[in-house]
Structure 1
Amino acid sequence: MRILIQILVVAVLAVAGILAWQNRADLPLIGSYFAPPEAGNGERRGGGRPVPVDAEIVSPGLLLDSVRVVGTARANQSVTITSEIAGRIVELRVREGQQVNRGDVLVRFGTAEIAADLTGARSELKLAKQVYDRAEATRRKGLVTRARTEELAQSVAVAEAAVRQIEARIGKFTLQAPFSGRLGFKQASVGALVQPGEPIVTLDDISVIKLDFDVPETALAALHPGQTVLARSSAYPDTPIEGVVSTIDTRVDPTTRAVTVRAEIDNAEGLLRPGMFLTVELVYSRTENALLAPEEAILVVDGGAFVFTIEDGKAVRQPVKLGRRRPGKVEIIEGITAGQQVITAGVQKVRPGADVAVRTAPAGQS
């Protein structure tokens, strides 16, 4: 009995399959894929009420090629103020967060010992000049040889060099701001004995922020200085910050296959800080009048793409060649022209040549 039931079930399924294959063109989901080619010319196959669909008019628009990456903010100039000599700080003109100008004195070291050396060197120079002057006057009278005066002139030169050397050393006992910027945290205090190279305070010029980010090498040909970038920081999510590309690295990273791009951002308001991460968007290509169709209108079968257009109230199957994709839109390179209507919803029930009724007003029409 069980075997007989199984035979009957198999027979019913076989008959259903044969009937489905014979009427495959009328099936709602796959009928359009098996319709004969002549139906694509607008000929109606069968009667019935029009199929309700949504449609949209394809229109040309602006297509942007861009990259969105993460970049790192860097100061325009940055330095840690250190000393070249060992010395004790006697004056520290540093207020954390203070804006200073180039040449402002930041640190003075005690110079009592070296000042005494300078006084002694200047005295020796003065004496050497006096001896030379007397010898030169005597030489004119024939009482001193020229060799002696030349020897004394050499002594004067040596004394002058000793004075200049000590004066140069004294210059290192005063530290000045090498450029205008803002001071960071001080790391030494008045009275501290500082060794050469020991950090005292940081100085950053953040009036301009350098933003470094990596761009895939595929976009390298389209990059050039002067392009505009838009950056956003999580600290100011609603404030887009505009910058300009200033430099493109001469090398491509062999590991990431990306090139580093540097943009400069005017930071007069001081919103950005070195080390911040920013989301960067760089538009490197613009295509005017690109034909853009809704993504939901595109159907793909066996590797080929097509859309259904509406002509004289009937659905027409149109093969298309696709280009770049954007959220919700696909570029159409070949197959349809601007102004044609494409079906965006209800396409599952449509077959070539079928009557269709648009449920909603196409985009671009009132």
Structure 2
Amino acid sequence: MLKKLSTRVKVYMFLGFCAILVIGAVALNSTSKTAAAASKPKAGQSPDGDKEAVPVELAAVQRGEISSIITASTNLRALREVDVVSQTAGIVHRLSAEEGDYVQSGAVLCVLDDAELQIRFQSAQQKLAQAKLQSEKAGIQQEKTAVQIANQKEELARYQELYQNQLVSEHEVALIRYRLNELEHDARVSASQSRELTHRVAELEAELAQVSLEIARCHIKAPFSGYIVQRQVELGRTVRPMDALFKLSAFSPLYADVFLSESECRSVLSGQAATIRLGADTSAHASGTVARISPVVDQSSGTVKVTVEQRQPEQGFRPGAFVTVRIETARRADALLIPKRAVLDEDGETYVYTVQNLIAHRTPVRLGTETGGQVEIRQGLQENQQVVVAGQGGLKDGGKIKIVQVKGKNGQNQLARLHS
């Protein structure tokens, strides 16, 4: 019995020892794996525990010229564009202008039939000539009567003196006085007729002027020099007063009205240079200047109207054309410039990464004018400093970098590696 018990105990002890060995082996294997995993470098770290260098592209801070440009799109309009209308009724007798024609101020565009008016004009001329002739005759008669009256008065004075000396009778004196009275009456009648004839001449002159005006209105003329952009009348058509016959437009100068925000408008001044580009064709452009700035803000849009004038005519620029206006509000000839993509913004702070000895440094900067792909640096950088323009996403202040490309001073990309 005791012998069987001793054998069983030995078996249990052996099995327990084996279990302990297995557990120990498993634990040892797990520990070695953990240690190996701990000793293996993580992604982004070198075997010695340091972070991997981040590949970046650099560019140098350069000095150059930069301009502040405000850009807006609009349509060109003419200096003035009007409808040339008829001032009288009539039938179109002749057309002298077509669409696209350039006409001078005062040029006849079309003529209405004025045959009836010409007859009235000739009749009025004849009546006026007759009235003037009668008026001249009446004037001559007045002068004759005045002379006769003067002579008769002298004769009366002489007869009165003779009568006092009893050399003539009272009847003879009375006869002379009667003749004088007749002459004075004739003078009054002649003066009245002369006034009537003068009034008649004035009436006929006014009538002739009215007919002349109506004839002139039959000749439709250009009120200013410009291009016929639309003809709205046909030969033989009957027109009425105020009917639109032509649309006339003055192409020089042309104007572009752009609407800018209040903040943009603060930097715009009359006389500033502007460039007007035709539609999407950047090669077709013309020079202009800021002609006027509206003194008020449009309440509905919150914008200010700025008028740019294009004085020199250029091919392709015409009223209604879609254009892009670029107004140069400032120019700096010796500014520090970097690519705009180098600038980062975080929590209201604007900064760039500069590089020294292959180490990136977060450097706050103050920006100035921006245009195209460049931005002016007012504070924070110096000329020829290297800034990161690509790869900033993986950078932190003090992090190592690996340069894969450097943008040279002349804008050429060069493979390089900076050493300490």
The TM-score range, normalised by the shorter chain, is: 0.7 to 0.9
* 1:218 alignment counterpart: 263
* 2:118 alignment counterpart: 115
* 1:363 alignment counterpart: 408
* 2:276 alignment counterpart: 231
Residues 1:28 and 1:306: Cα distance change in structure 2 (over 3 Å): farther
Partners in 2 of 1:48 and 1:188 — Cα distance? 84
Partners in 2 of 1:199 and 1:104 — Cα distance? 17
8 Å CA contact 2:59–2:408 kept in 1: the answer is: yes
**1:194-343 aligned within 5 A:** 194-234=239-279, 236-266=281-311, 268=313, 270-343=315-388
Please give the root-mean-square deviation of Cα atoms over the aligned residues, in Å.
3.2
Residues 1:301 and 1:99: Cα distance change in structure 2 (over 3 Å): closer
**Identical aligned pairs, as a percentage?**
29
Partners in 2 of 1:260 and 1:331 — Cα distance? 28
Structure with a larger share of its residues in helix: 2
The higher radius of gyration belongs to 2
Structure with a larger share of its residues in strand: 1
1:139-175 deviations in Å (ceiling 9; x for gaps) = 1222422444333322222222221122112111111
8 Å CA contact 1:219–1:284 kept in 2: the answer is: no
**1:8-23 aligned within 5 A:** none
What's the CA shift for 1:135?
1.6
Partners in 2 of 1:78 and 1:144 — Cα distance? 62
Partners in 1 of 2:392 and 2:303 — Cα distance? 42
What's the CA shift for 1:237?
4.9
* 2:58 alignment counterpart: 55
* 2:207 alignment counterpart: 162
1:269-318 deviations in Å (ceiling 9; x for gaps) = 54233222212222222233333333444444443343332335544343
Candidates 181, 204, 229, aligned match of 1:184: 229
Partners in 1 of 2:355 and 2:282 — Cα distance? 44
Partners in 1 of 2:231 and 2:205 — Cα distance? 38
| TM-score, with length taken from structure 2 | 0.67
1:330-353 deviations in Å (ceiling 9; x for gaps) = 443322222222233454555555
**1:80-159 aligned within 5 A:** 80-142=83-145, 143-145=186-188, 146-159=191-204
8 Å CA contact 2:105–2:224 kept in 1: the answer is: yes
Matched to 1:210, the amino acid is Y
8 Å CA contact 1:135–1:144 kept in 2: the answer is: no
Runs of 5+ unmatched residues, structure 2: 1-41, 146-185, 415-420
Deviates more, 1:124-133 or 1:147-156: 147-156
Partners in 2 of 1:153 and 1:207 — Cα distance? 51
8 Å CA contact 1:63–1:287 kept in 2: the answer is: yes
Partners in 2 of 1:109 and 1:346 — Cα distance? 78
* 1:12 alignment counterpart: none
Paired residue secondary structure (2:97): coil
Paired residue secondary structure (1:73): strand
| TM-score, with length taken from structure 1 | 0.76
**2:70 paired with 1:78:** no
Partners in 2 of 1:263 and 1:346 — Cα distance? 43
Matched to 1:304, the amino acid is E
Partners in 1 of 2:211 and 2:327 — Cα distance? 55
Matched to 2:136, the amino acid is D
Residues 1:78 and 1:53: Cα distance change in structure 2 (over 3 Å): closer
Partners in 1 of 2:54 and 2:236 — Cα distance? 91
Matched to 1:258, the amino acid is T
Partners in 2 of 1:235 and 1:50 — Cα distance? 44
Partners in 2 of 1:126 and 1:348 — Cα distance? 101
What's the CA shift for 1:52?
5.1
Residues 1:54 and 1:95: Cα distance change in structure 2 (over 3 Å): closer
Residues 1:235 and 1:188: Cα distance change in structure 2 (over 3 Å): farther
Matched to 1:68, the amino acid is T
Residues 1:262 and 1:141: Cα distance change in structure 2 (over 3 Å): same
Residues 1:155 and 1:202: Cα distance change in structure 2 (over 3 Å): same
Residues 1:90 and 1:209: Cα distance change in structure 2 (over 3 Å): same
Matched to 2:74, the amino acid is G
8 Å CA contact 2:274–2:328 kept in 1: the answer is: yes
Matched to 1:177, the amino acid is A
Partners in 2 of 1:90 and 1:302 — Cα distance? 78
Deviates more, 1:326-335 or 1:57-66: 326-335
Deviates more, 1:155-164 or 1:352-361: 352-361
8 Å CA contact 1:71–1:277 kept in 2: the answer is: yes
8 Å CA contact 2:286–2:314 kept in 1: the answer is: no
* 1:174 alignment counterpart: 219
Partners in 1 of 2:269 and 2:350 — Cα distance? 36
Paired residue secondary structure (1:106): strand
Partners in 1 of 2:376 and 2:280 — Cα distance? 36
Paired residue secondary structure (2:294): strand
Residues 1:190 and 1:305: Cα distance change in structure 2 (over 3 Å): closer
Residues 1:27 and 1:294: Cα distance change in structure 2 (over 3 Å): farther
Matched to 1:174, the amino acid is H
